[in-house]
């Protein structure tokens, strides 16, 4: 939805939407270009779990494509770090 609040994991437009610590890490890894296998190795979990996290993020924020997820990752992290807004 694009409404992440500055300095927060919460979405301003949809207050129930939050990112977990794992989802934030995955978003950051996506932004840096890591694939599911690389993220899974880094976190010590299955690549299928990473895939599930990505699907949940996409559903939560109504993201339709991998390309949109990549764009969202940059914006979401910038907002949560207070660099935009």
CB contact set of 17 (below 8 Å; sequence gap of 6+) = 1, 10, 11, 60, 61
**What pLDDT sits at residue 10?**
54
Domain ranges of the chain: 21-80
- What pLDDT does residue 81 have? 59
Cα distances (Å, whole numbers) of residue 36 to 9, 10, 16, 39: 22, 24, 26, 5
Find residue 4's DSSP bridge partners: 11
| Second CATH level (architecture) for the domain 21-80 | Orthogonal Bundle (1.10)
Q: What is the pLDDT of residues 12-57, one digit of tens each?
A: 455 445 778 888 899 999 999 999 999 999 999 999 999 999 999 9
pLDDT at 20: 82
pLDDT in tens, 29-38: 999 999 999 9
For the chain, what is the mean pLDDT? 79
């Amino acid at each position: 939805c694009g409404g992440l609040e500055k300095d927060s994991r919460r979405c301003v437009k949809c207050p129930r939407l939050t990112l977990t610590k794992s989802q934030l890490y995955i978003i950051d890894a996506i932004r840096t270009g890591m694939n599911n296998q690389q993220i899974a190795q880094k976190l010590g979990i299955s690549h299928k779990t990473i895939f599930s996290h990505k699907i949940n993020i996409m559903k939560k924020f109504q993201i339709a494509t991998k390309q949109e997820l990549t764009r969202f990752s940059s914006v979401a992290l910038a907002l949560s770090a207070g660099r935009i807004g």
